[in-house]
Structure 1
Amino acid sequence: MISTDKTTPKSTAPSFVIHIAIAFFAVLIIGANDGAFGVILPHVRSHYTLNNSVVSLLFLFSTLGYLCAAFSNGLSVEKLGKGGALLCGATIFVIGATFVSLQLPFFLLLPSMLLLGFGIAMLDAGLNTFIAGLPKSAALLNYFHAFYGIGAWLGPLAATGLLAFDWNWNVIYMLWAALGLVTLISLGIILKRHPITRPDEDTAEEKQGNVLFLALKMKVSWIGAIFLLFYVGAEVTLGSWSYSFLTEERHGDAVLMGTVVSGYWLGLTLGRLILAQFTQMIGAKRIILLCLVGVIGGLLLIWLTPNNIIAAIGLFITGFSLGPIFPTTISVMSELVPSRLLASVIGFLASLGSMGAALFPWITGNLAQFIGLWILLPFTLVLSILMIGTWLLLQTQPRQTA
């Protein structure tokens, strides 16, 4: 049996390699899906003849999927186990991506996006919880989220390439469904041979009380979740709408701007790989504050200098600065909550935080419809300022006791 306890003996360490590889592959697909969506969004809007406000319903229904996952993850883990919940999330992801790829009527596309969002949130929470329970989790979490960034960097390139060859936008979801199926099969095989939890581990936790209820009672859980809600909202809002902003508001070349958006996700990846080393040197609290200052600087550079070359530099700086924030926050939470509640807290943070990936892009689409796409940058700046305030509030919280 495999345990995610950080005190796992070295003799069992090699058995984690395949688990980690599958986790990294899965989060790469999630990143590719998020990164590509901004590029295909104008084509979805054109296919269904919609305006920005209506097409933004796709984000709203994704939000509903994330919200459902946020409050059902604990029950899913309790009933299915950590491995079973991961398999369930992968299955729902494949079903959701398949339905989206069928180009169903728009009123059926919406619940398909809900399924896709639910599956992504379940996978994201489960994988974060698994990685956080491993030895040297701080470094692993940064590398894990770097793979999300790699996927988000490749996603716009893949979507731009397919569209450049006149392939329809739904083909990208056929690709996600196929890759998701590979993930599902791989998870099924490895979890059957090497489960990631001991049968007595959950039983011991149940005897001490409902861990999800206890996690939700802690103020620090909600502050951390709201912080990540704003963070993921800023990250995905900028990634999803910057292509439309650059091509429609600033009239940039469609293929070139797809590459520029890809550079934003590349910056996110490099930030996680490079700044992860500085986290150990100057501390997590300082690195996140420095990163937030870098985010605001990058956004102001894009907003105040209407030049596409400068915009490319600004997007890269913003992505680079955003990169380490999520994994470093997850690592910080391990210092603020009891170890036996950590899995439930991380699952809640990852799920509720991921709602921002759908909620704030939806709000942006509605604002863009009635005000204009220029609103993207000031709106993302507001989210960044809210992040700073929430992070400072989180730092005032003492370590929690069960």
Structure 2
Amino acid sequence: MVIEGNPVSASSMKPLQRLQIALLFLAFILIGATEGGVGVLIPSIQLSYGLDKAVVSLLFLAGTSGYLTAAILSGLLVEKFGHRNFILFGTAIIFAGAFLVTLQPPFVLLMLVWLSLGFGIASLDSGVNSYVASWPHNSAILNYLHGFYGVGALSGPLAASFVINNGWSWNNTYYVWCFLAALVLISFRLVFSKPLETAKQELHTKEAQTSGENVLLAALKLKVVWLTALFLFLYVGSEVSLGNWGYSWLTQQREQVAWFAGWLVSGYWMGLTLGRLTLARVSQWVGTQRLIWGCLAGTVSGILILIFLAGTSGVWLAIGLALCGYSLGPIFPTTIALISNIVPERLLASAVGLLVSLGSMGAAFFPWLAGNLAEKLGLWSLLPYLLVLTAIMLLLWLMLFRESGVNSKRPDPENKL
């Protein structure tokens, strides 16, 4: 692990270093909470503004526009301003955007605010991801980090359900995100008093060829970066589609009561969190490729349970959603860890920015497409739709490993955290 440039193990970390790591985890709780709570709020936003599913889905596209801009530029911005200032800037944008949502502006203005929220979330997401990805032996650590995203994504639906079930307006949920963003912003400013430096890893052989080149353009030339980005484009789209439309599917298609549906969606995010926390070290034993194959197989199994068994009992609803979340959980951080071992260190921030930007496009495009399919065909189409996306992911993962030349049987090196 690296804190301000110094490799340390868990046993040798000082209290300040532990606090810094905890703050990075808190930042990902903020990201997860702001994104995870949206699905529960969608029906209330529809009712508040008098919109149909297709129009309200434009919020996803607005959010991804800001997210995409920040994520693509992250490598250039990190190189110019450093990880610390980039992360502080992103957190400040999240705070300002959440506060504006509490005012419940007209829908056109709300879309602009959603765009700014996407920009802030991408800055925080890309900044922390690329910083942690630069550490040696980062696969397990990235899974732990994204596990705390799951903690936030689990808390988000619970907080949103609490607000709605108590008869309060949906926008009051964003007071909670304002408080959390302020806590991260102030704490990060105080605890990280020095610029964040990355570990000095062995550079890729292509480093010398790109040392004088624009980092974004150099990263865009790597085929393996595009394959990985496309894979995460579909992955994040699948994860968010189920998380955001799952509540509507449960209440309208499966006729579950609101409080139970809220808990089931939280169970999905809990499964995602537990998957990252409990499977973090599995790649050390079975290899990265086998771990992802197993996760994709588990995702298919969970969807099939929801299609064929969920109508018989609410228990099967809980099992299917939890299994989907548990299986999907490790895929994103494990893929980020993979790319950090392939691309040169100088290009890592730009490569990670491209990955999260394509992921954000998936988080906007595929839920938007799911909403349009639901509007035209009905919410029953959600699960077959997810099966198709998962099948394409399987093909892309096979192409990625053939291109990268990574040995699927070689376990990851031991992680010291």
What is the TM-score normalised by the length of structure 2?
Answer: 0.89
Residue 377 in 1 paired to residue 383 in 2?
yes
Q: 1:55 offset after TM fit, Å?
A: 0.7
Q: For residues 76 and 343 of structure 1, what CA distance do their matches in structure 2 show?
A: 9
Q: For residues 261 and 3 of structure 1, what CA distance do their matches in structure 2 show?
A: 35
- Secondary structure class of the residue paired with 1:18: helix
Report Cα offsets for 1:123-153 as digits up to 9, x if no partner: 1111111111234422211110110111111
Partner of 2:410 in structure 1?
none
* 2:363 partner letter: A
Partner of 1:111 in structure 2?
112
Q: 1:12 offset after TM fit, Å?
A: 9.2
Residues 147 and 274 in structure 2, CA contact (< 8 A), matched pair in contact too: yes
* 2:7 partner letter: T
Partner of 2:27 in structure 1?
26
Report Cα offsets for 1:66-85 as digits up to 9, x if no partner: 22123221232233222111
- Secondary structure class of the residue paired with 2:402: coil
CA change 1:17–1:135 in 2 (3 A) is farther
Partner of 1:65 in structure 2?
66
Report Cα offsets for 1:243-297 as digits up to 9, x if no partner: 0001011111110111011111111111111122322110110010111011011
Partner of 1:234 in structure 2?
238
Residues 335 and 399 in structure 1, CA contact (< 8 A), matched pair in contact too: no
Q: 1:209 offset after TM fit, Å?
A: 2.7
Q: 1:399 offset after TM fit, Å?
A: 5.9
**Structure 1 stretch 70-79 or stretch 157-166: which is displaced more?**
70-79
- RMSD between superposed Cα atoms in Å: 2.3
Identity among equivalent pairs (%): 47
2:326 pairs, out of 320, 323, 326, with: 320
CA change 1:364–1:388 in 2 (3 A) is same
**Structure 1 stretch 316-325 or stretch 162-171: which is displaced more?**
162-171
**1:194-343 alignment runs, 5 A limit:** 194-197=194-197, 208-305=212-309, 306-307=311-312, 308-343=314-349
Q: For residues 148 and 289 of structure 2, what CA distance do their matches in structure 1 show?
A: 23
CA change 1:320–1:398 in 2 (3 A) is closer
**Structure 1 stretch 8-17 or stretch 336-345: which is displaced more?**
8-17
* 1:393 partner letter: M
| Unaligned residue ranges in structure 1 (runs of 5+) | none
What is the TM-score normalised by the length of structure 1?
Answer: 0.92
Residues 280 and 330 in structure 2, CA contact (< 8 A), matched pair in contact too: yes
Q: For residues 183 and 3 of structure 1, what CA distance do their matches in structure 2 show?
A: 17
Residues 122 and 351 in structure 1, CA contact (< 8 A), matched pair in contact too: no
Partner of 1:354 in structure 2?
360
CA change 1:3–1:39 in 2 (3 A) is closer
Report Cα offsets for 1:138-191 as digits up to 9, x if no partner: 221111011011111111111112212112111111110121111111222233
Corresponding pairs, count: 394
* 2:115 partner letter: L
Q: 1:16 offset after TM fit, Å?
A: 3.5
Residue 120 in 1 paired to residue 118 in 2?
no
Q: 1:3 offset after TM fit, Å?
A: 6.4
- Secondary structure class of the residue paired with 1:337: coil
Q: For residues 90 and 132 of structure 2, what CA distance do their matches in structure 1 show?
A: 16
Q: For residues 165 and 383 of structure 1, what CA distance do their matches in structure 2 show?
A: 37
* 1:309 partner letter: V
| Unaligned residue ranges in structure 2 (runs of 5+) | 202-206, 407-417
* 1:91 partner letter: A
Partner of 1:389 in structure 2?
395
Q: For residues 387 and 52 of structure 1, what CA distance do their matches in structure 2 show?
A: 26
